[in-house]
A and B are shown apart, each in its own frame.
Chain A
Amino acid sequence: MTRFRQWAWGLGIATTSAVTAFGVAAWQANAAPTAPTPTVAAEQPRVTDPSPLPEAATGRGSDALTSGEVATARAVALTPQLAAEAEDVTGKAGPEYLSAEVDPEAGGRQAELYFYDYKTEKLVKQVVDLKTGKLAKSFAATGMQPPASEQETKTALELLVADPLGQSLAGMDGLVPTAHIYTAKPADQGASQCGKSRCVQLIVQTEDGEFLSVSEFVVDLSGRTVARLK
């Protein structure tokens, strides 16, 4: 069922009158040599406004992965070996879960799940065939650092607050951290291990909207240390 928002276009009557107005003006232009240039109100036409559908259990084709598909894929991707041998950002057993995306070019429904293993400093990619519910392929490599998870961002802020360099922060209350992945640049003096190690640059916003630090601090999540750039 399609419904239109009333504020978007009145009740559709305006559409009719606008079209009619143009039709008349155009007709006049055809008939009379000195007809005025037709004017069309530059009103915004409506688009459809479908009611949101409940989330499907499974997606189709290039649809984003549904939460059900992600849950299924995570269960398959987290093999007993990975669960036992890998470590997350807090040092617990099991890899740090980062992201899940659909691969529509794979032909069926395939989920690509990314994890970071802090024990081996490897990015792990698990490809799950959602039709069969089986792990289709598995890859791992060092030196690859996709964006941080929420848990990694929180951990980075905790490390900064606990560090002498973060003494200006009076606890974590009300702070909103943003964690950019940081890869060491050639001229980097303070955190040259970053890239091989998993590091983030923290931008911290306080409750009143102020930003506390910009690029000064780099938190090495692998080494659990805080460095100051410059």
Chain B
Amino acid sequence: MSYRKLVGATALLTVALLGAAVPAGAQAAPALPCSAASTVKEKLPNGTTWQLCWRIHDKAGLMLEKVFVSTKLNPQPVQVLDSIRLAQLHVPYDTGDMEFDDLTDLGMGGYFLETLDGDDCQGGSARVGSDGSGDPQLRKVLCVSAEPSGLAYRGREQNWDENGETSVLSSKQGHDLVLRTISKLSWYEYVTEFRLHDDGQISARLGATGDLAPETEADAARGWPIGKGADYKATMHYHNAFWRVDFNLDGKGGERVDQYDTTLDGRGEMTAKLKTTRTAIAKEGTFSKVNQRWWRVTSQSSKNTDGHPRSYELVTGGDDRYEGHPETKPDVTFSQKNPCDKYASGNASDPECPVDNRTVLDFVKDKEKMTDPVMWVRVGFHHVPRDEDQSPMPMHWQGFDLVPRDFTAMNQLTPDERAGENGNPQPEPSDEPSEPVPSSAQPVPSGAGG
């Protein structure tokens, strides 16, 4: 018997026990605090189900609330987010003559929200809901679709035994549940999109299309020639998007924020040693990327079945930092949850709240100790126009990912043949593979409850 075959048998046993460990009724749906019309619940081909409440806010646009995920391996729905939404869209032009706080000067919802049309929701389901205006209209505003996301994973396990070489291939196409709305703010049109991946990742992004601002000519330092010759230079500008993210991991709340930094730490025998350290962020503040820095929001009371605290990691990608305002410089702000903190800038819009609480910097200025952190993520895009921007402008995107870190004990899409492979990667078989004891031999209960 080959070593791998033995592992396979162990894996089968583990799967059987996994199945048995799911208590009756464990797959009960969470009681979402919204009606059927404002619920999205969809199962992706790999068995992952996302369920949530949605609505349109007149200023913030599409809001997702009470976001739960369950997977084939972890069938009990577990909450990830209390809510996620845009928190500002600040658009300053490089000439310094024009800037807009689109959420609070216009609003992404209400009559700026487009009714889905044409190819807007091809292959998906155009859901009807209130546009969030002061005179609410029921319209087809939310597109829900499931979209292939490429190769989710691939691994070929090769074995050699008396019968020669055999292999087991694990290769799987991934899918995202995609929710999107479109807002038309005069010439620009914005797509608010949330992608809920089948492996538990959540991606938030903003797409911009439509047309360049007309009649905004600039010099060569601030504009780019479009059209024949160099007669007209379209003005360069920024799209500074902010999102508000409120986690509620496993419905227990009270998360902590961790920052990790990796630095050089002397030499090993062959190359540099590196050191990764954690800094607990206990108090409100603003934070920015340096090389090898990242953050995660970590549950203090919910663990996966490996005994590791569940968390989600903030992963940022392409970003242009706008230096023209102090509040657009930090990459991320963590603040204690406060109903008066609504918009990353232009926040003073509620008479119940202080008039001087204007930006994310005000949210954190008293450095309050956080017991319920809210994450404000900023991602900027400096748009240097190009000939191809007309017309309409090809969609350009900006956003970030929330990646599960120890939310479950293993890859949420782990196929049956890999179910036993949790823990120290398998050692190579020795000449006498008498008693291989994979670290995964201990069956684990379903990863849902804690």
Q: A: which residues have CB within 8 A of B?
A: 5, 7-9, 19, 26, 29-30, 33, 35, 37-38, 40, 42-50, 52-53, 55-56, 59-67, 70, 97-102, 104-105, 122-125, 127, 137, 139-147, 149-150, 178-183, 203, 205, 210-211, 213-215, 229-230
Contact = CB atoms under 8 A, between A and B. Distances in A.
Contacts of A149: 134
Interface in B1-47: 32-38, 42, 44-45
Given A62-B53, A62-B65, A47 B42 contact: yes
A64 B109 CA distance: 12
A64 B55 contact: yes
A47 B145 contact: yes
A121 to B, nearest CB: 12
Contact of B351 (A30, A122, A203): A122
Contacts of A44: 123, 145-148
A104 B53 CA distance: 12
B34 A63 contact: yes
Given A70-B134, A101-B57, A139 B351 contact: yes
B35 A59 contact: yes
Interface of B: 32-38, 42, 44-45, 53, 55-59, 65-66, 97-98, 100, 104-107, 110-111, 123-125, 127-130, 132-136, 138, 144-148, 164-169, 171, 173, 175, 177, 185-187, 213-216, 339, 346, 348-352, 355
A105 to B, nearest CB: 6
A63 B104 CA distance: 22
Kindly list the 5 A-B residue pairs having the minimum CB-CB distance in the complex, ordered from nearest: A61-B33, A141-B351, A139-B351, A64-B130, A52-B128
Contacts of B145: 44, 47
B213 A214 contact: yes
Contact of B169 (A19, A35, A62, A98): A35
A45 B45 contact: yes
18 contacts: A19-B45, A38-B169, A47-B124, A59-B35, A64-B136, A70-B136, A101-B58, A123-B351, A147-B58, A147-B104, A149-B134, A178-B185, A178-B186, A182-B105, A211-B214, A213-B215, A214-B214, A214-B216
Contacts of A49: 125
Contacts of B169: 26, 29-30, 35, 37-38
A122 B56 CA distance: 26
B124 A146 contact: no
A70 B135 CA distance: 7
Contact of B42 (A48, A67, A98, A210): A48
A105 B134 CA distance: 20
A144 B355 contact: yes
B110 A99 contact: yes
Nearest to A143: B355
Contacts of A30: 168-169
Given A66-B136, A101-B132, A180-B106, A42 B148 contact: yes
Nearest to A123: B351
B98 A99 contact: no
A214 B215 contact: yes
Q: Which residue, of B59, B135, B146, has the highest number of chain A Cβ atoms within 10 A?
A: B135
B195 to A, nearest CB: 13
A215 B111 contact: no
A147 B168 contact: no
Nearest to B139: A52
B59 to A, nearest CB: 7
A70 B32 CA distance: 23
Given A47-B124, A47-B125, A147 B106 contact: yes
Contact of B146 (A40, A45, A229): A45
Contact of A181 (B105, B177, B186, B350): B105
A183 B106 CA distance: 13
Given A123-B351, A180-B105, A37 B171 contact: yes
Given A62-B33, A66-B130, A180 B100 contact: yes
B235 to A, nearest CB: 10
Contact of B187 (A46, A211, A213): A211
B9 to A, nearest CB: 15
Contact of A203 (B53, B136, B186): B186
B105 A147 contact: yes
Nearest to A59: B35
A100 B58 CA distance: 8
Given A125-B351, A147-B106, A214-B214, A98 B134 contact: yes
A67 B136 contact: yes
Contact of B355 (A33, A48, A141): A141
Query: Which residue among B36, B104, B105, B138 has the maximum number of chain A CB atoms within 10 Å of its CB?
Result: B105
A62 B38 contact: yes
